[in-house]
Structure 1
């Protein structure tokens, strides 16, 4: 994908967009877990988790540790 810093920035951008949406529309658990196609939350959970896992794996690789 990209560098660890770019991945972290992507996570921060996703969080910012999520918070903006939450402030504008409130939080709807149904829309979060089963979002409509094309909505702000469509694919959010999977994408966020995939990037976060990449960052964690990168950090372990840098330190020579295992998770």
Structure 2
């Protein structure tokens, strides 16, 4: 399993890639919410959400609290 820092680094890299794409091409909401297969945003939201949930769970585990 990845460390929390590795997951955060991956999330930051994804954010940078998204921002670069947005500045270069703009983001159409259709492409953000329902991108075609192979589009740069294909699976972006799902993957980012998955990573965020893992980081959240790890943080709660570290503090001994419940998510």
Structure 1 runs, 4 residues or longer, greater than 6 Å off? none
Per-residue Cα deviation, 1:15-65 (whole angstroms, up to 9, x for no partner): 000000000111210000011111110000000000000000000000000
Task: Please list every run of 5 or more consecutive structure 2 residues that lacks an aligned counterpart in the other structure.
Answer: none
TM-score, normalising length: structure 1? 0.96
CA RMSD of aligned residues (A): 0.7
The separation in 2 between residues aligned to 1:2 and 1:15, in whole angstroms, is 19
TM-score, normalising length: structure 2? 0.96
Query: Number of aligned pairs?
Result: 67
The separation in 2 between residues aligned to 1:18 and 1:34, in whole angstroms, is 15
Task: Please list every run of 5 or more consecutive structure 1 residues that lacks an aligned counterpart in the other structure.
Answer: none
